[in-house]
Amino acid sequence: MPELPDTMRAIVAPAPGGPETLEESEVPRPSPGPGQVLIRVAAAGVNPVDAKTRSGAGAARFLGDADWPWIPGWDLAGTVVEAGFGVARFGVGDRVFGTVGFPHAAGAYAEYAVAHVSQLSRSPRSLDDAHAAALAMGGLTAWQALVDAGGLETNQRVLVTAAAGGVGHLAVQIAADLGAHVIAVASPDNVDFVRGLGAYEILDRTREDWADGVEPVDLVLDCFGGPARAPALSTVRPGGTIVTLPTGGDREAAPDGVHDPTVFVAPDGLELQLLTGSVERGALKPHVSQVLPLADAARAHELIASGGTQGKIVLTID
């Protein structure tokens, strides 16, 4: 095993600001503590919360002054290059992926990152690192919203807004695999895409009346919030559940009897193992629409903030 360097390339945000503030720098390489591994990162998934946090919103409230300059990123895939004290679950050379450290600073946009083993899974054999990185936060969020918070059961009716996005495209597949009747809300350009994911009905979100006439559903996963929440709410049956993912800002109250839990994604290696199993069975496949080199992180943030992403954007690190 070649000796590890003392420094590494990373994308750094000096202080909260615009995407243009992101710059590639040479910074000290982290070392794994007890229960942690050091990962040579091959790919980092880009999530809306990365750009929101860089701008001072999102998870910035969980960062302290000492976390700036901040290395963005929570989703990663790569190879274990060093194991800390007491690590038995993974060894040097294992391919792993995960959402690590969220919502605290974790630094996935870098050549190396450390993560606690409880937040990692072995990468699916059938996925390259870019696709494994694309699965982490979107897949965990979808699972935690649909199953942990939403209690989704076979034969239930579930409606997913922003169904073509990073969370939505995985949620449609997970819900369909669980035997639910999936109604996807998407723009006309994404109809074929979401149908291919297993959506049974597709509603055109560009029509103001898209929710009119929808037979009541048991569960709504509203991945967009804002203007999508009111029509989405109108489709939930009494006693049903709505999970609206964007957590910032005011939101329309749900009627009495409709459950409205707040979901804030939590790193979870065991749930990632479940998702890995679904991938290996052929029931779940992350879609990567854009792969950019690490140096193009600012461009990746502009793209993710535009809201038009189909599936995921991923940064690769040579």
Ligand X SMILES: NC(=O)c1ccc[n+]([C@@H]2O[C@H](COP(=O)([O-])OP(=O)(O)OC[C@H]3O[C@@H](n4cnc5c(N)ncnc54)[C@H](OP(=O)(O)O)[C@@H]3O)[C@@H](O)[C@H]2O)c1
β-pairing, 201-204 vs 181-186, is parallel
49 touches ligand X (CB under 6 A): yes
Query: The tokens of 202 are what?
Result: 């597709």
Among 228, 232, 275, 279, binds ligand X (CB under 6 A): 228
Q: In the chain, which residue ranges form alpha helices assigned H by DSSP?
A: 48-54, 129-143, 168-177, 191-196, 229-233, 269-281, 297-306
With 0-12 / 13-18 / 19 or more C-beta atoms within 10 angstroms meaning exposed / middle / buried, residue 206 is exposed
11 touches ligand X (CB under 6 A): no
Q: Which stretch binds ligand X (CB under 6 A): 42-50, 65-73, 105-113, 290-298?
A: 42-50
User: Closest Cα to residue 120, out of 103, 138, 132, 105?
Assistant: 132
246 touches ligand X (CB under 6 A): yes
103 touches ligand X (CB under 6 A): no
CA terminus-to-terminus distance, the chain: 18
198 touches ligand X (CB under 6 A): no
Q: From the CB of 166, what's the least distance to ligand X, in Å?
A: 3
48 touches ligand X (CB under 6 A): yes
User: Closest Cα to residue 180, out of 167, 166, 197?
Assistant: 197
Listed in sequence order, the residues at least 6 apart from 247 whose beta carbon sits closer than 8 Å to its beta carbon are 262, 264
Q: For residues 251 and 304, what is the distance between their CA atoms, to the nearest angstrom?
A: 23
3-state secondary structure (DSSP) of residue 32: coil
Residue numbers 258-297 binding ligand X by CB under 6 A: 263-265
Among 73, 107, 168, 269, binds ligand X (CB under 6 A): 168
User: Closest Cα to residue 48, out of 191, 248, 205?
Assistant: 248
Q: For residues 220 and 150, what is the distance between their CA atoms, to the nearest angstrom?
A: 8
Q: From the CB of 183, what's the least distance to ligand X, in Å?
A: 14
Among 37, 38, 164, 178, binds ligand X (CB under 6 A): 164
Among 45, 72, 107, 165, binds ligand X (CB under 6 A): 165
Q: From the CB of 222, what's the least distance to ligand X, in Å?
A: 9
In the bound state with ligand X, the residue whose beta carbon lies nearer, of 111 and 268, is 268
186 touches ligand X (CB under 6 A): yes
234 touches ligand X (CB under 6 A): no
In the bound state with ligand X, the residue whose beta carbon lies nearer, of 9 and 54, is 54
- Binding stretches for ligand X (CB under 6 A): 47-49, 137-138, 141, 161-162, 164-168, 186-187, 190, 205, 223-224, 228, 245-247, 263-265, 304, 307-310
